[in-house]
Amino acid sequence: MCGIIGYIGEKQAAPIIFSGLKKLEYRGYDSAGIATLNNGIHIKKDVGKVKDIHSRINLTDLPGFIGIGHTRWATHGGVTKENAHPHTDCSGEIVIVHNGIIENFQELKRELKHHKLKSETDSEIIAHLIEEEMENKGFVEAAKTALKRVEGHFSLLILNKNDKRMIAARRGSPLVIGVGKGEYFPASDIPAFLDYTKDVIYLHDNDFVVLDKNGPKFFNLKNGENIERVVSTVDWDAEQAKKGEFEHFMLKEIIEQTETIQKAINQKMEIVEEVVGDIKNAQGIFFVGCGTAYHACLTGSYLFSKVAKKHVNVVSGSEFPHFEHFLTDKTLVIAVSQSGETADVLEAVKTARKRGSKVLSIVNVMGSSLTRNSDKVLLTHSGPEICVLSTKAYTAQLALMLLLAYATAGKIEDGRDQLKNLYNMVYNLTALSKRKKLKKLAEKLKDKEHIFTIGRGLMYPTALEAALKLKEVSYIHTEGFAGGDLKHGTIALIEKGTPCITFVSNGTEKEILSNAMEIKSRGGYIIGVGPKNNDIFDYFIKVPKSSVADPITHIIPMQILAYQLAVLRGCDPDKPRNLAKSVTVK
């Protein structure tokens, strides 16, 4: 949610932090600010987009070689300049930026009632706790003691007016450190510093780091012991995290699917074989994800039923703890997440761990919290996904689900062939001619208040994902249904001209066309998505037949349609309102 970036080194900090904040905008935010250290603390912050704030108050002219920056997504307190980060203590000597939720905020606030609080945020409390502890401790020990009193999740950067070191700490919220030559970039996500380095240190829960120009020192926040953390190198590059010739990241990432689906199946066979062994030996399997990843899980359950003849349970991450009593040490939990930092998925994994269950993660970000809390990891290899809406990571998740289903059935080469055959299909589905055709449809739909999507079998989760894409970026109310369910109540909402997008596959053609006819007979406007046209359709989107890979080919035109609708309606496709890329709070 919130974005954090810091710098300590030999260069002017503010321009580097400003650049990092712009690269973290995809996480979603409502205000931003920077603090630097140079003969005192210097702060600039305000409400709005980073570039707009910069045009008003120039965020890059703050002096100093040490600094911290933040983009805020409001949880405690309204969207105001006072609530924007960075925050200071009473004296203005301690300054912090914070991502997360302080669960004992009210209790701590009562204890600090003699302090002068300037904001409504829970974050500011941390600066005052450190101030309190510094009455009889040095900066580092005061920060350690203060953070032990904090309950909840946090990633933090802390500066002291009278100290040339920076403190970084995390518990439950993401934080990594970019490692350059004599310079360090603590940040909430890797793209913030990719222009400067690919070398990173992934922080674990309860890591407490003291940074100076000579390097980091790591401590465990719970017991205070010194710990070691290794430097890793990411295989992403800075160009992947840039828009290049594209107007929006969303369109760029949709088009990248020609390549990313193929990268997803490039897995080490020995790991796949181990995973298949876990699947076969498990007594109960759960797929767990949130939002788009949940739809990938639901699709996976159909694939495992159809291809591997195996039953899989599917549970939303936020609801998974309520299934705790079904879990044993024989259970396999397959957790799916783009970022690997989704709070509800991590809580689900924590629940599984408590019951002794084995955890496999399907994730895009190596070194994320989810990868570190899993027994085995399959990376989707999608590269940085900057747009808030997941497109290429979703189809990569689907590709891995299909590959695992075939591998479990002992037919992994058949699965590979299915997915390799998608290359030309996806290339054609994302071509300019296809985008122009979908723009014409978007022009017909842009003023509609409601859209419905229906599918059966593998096309049911596709209908759900299509509805999610359309509503989260265009703000048109869209609902997805299993084809047979629409008539169990919701068909009452169908009026003359109500659009209904119908997903057709060979195995479900007769039934879903019957459902579409029920809607058409009540005045609905039927948009068909599938391999062949039909008289029922008022508008047809041709998608090549791809058998069990249909969920991949059928969703891509919907991603493009959602993009076109957003642009026509004046919405920002990369940063939809009220949404954040990584939902790191429960």
Q: Which residues are known to be catalytic?
A: 2, 581
Pick from 388, 389, 390: which is nearest to 362 by CA? 390
Phi and psi for 80 in degrees, rounded to 5? -135, 165
Inter-CA distances, 528 with 50, 395, 489, 540, Å: 41, 21, 22, 5
What dihedral angle (degrees, nearest 10) is formed by the CA atoms of 15, 19, 21, 23? -170
Sequence letter at residue 200 = V
Query: In whole angstroms, what is the distance from residue 423 CA to residue 258 CA?
Result: 6
Is residue 175 within 8 Å of 168, Cβ to Cβ?
Answer: yes
Place of tokens 């040095």: 138
Pick from 475, 446, 472: which is nearest to 564 by CA? 446
Tokens of 177: 């450190």
Query: In whole angstroms, what is the distance from residue 506 CA to residue 488 CA?
Result: 24
Give the count of beta carbons closer than 10 Å to the beta carbon of residue 473: 28
Phi and psi for 309 in degrees, rounded to 5? 55, 45
Pairing of strands 450-455, 376-379: unpaired
Q: H helices within 102-248, ranges in order?
A: 105-111, 124-133, 139-148
Angle at 292 between CA 428 and CA 255, to 5 degrees: 25
What dihedral angle (degrees, nearest 10) is formed by the CA atoms of 366, 369, 373, 378? -30
Cα dihedral 57, 63, 69, 72 sign: negative
Query: In whole angstroms, what is the distance from residue 119 CA to residue 113 CA?
Result: 13
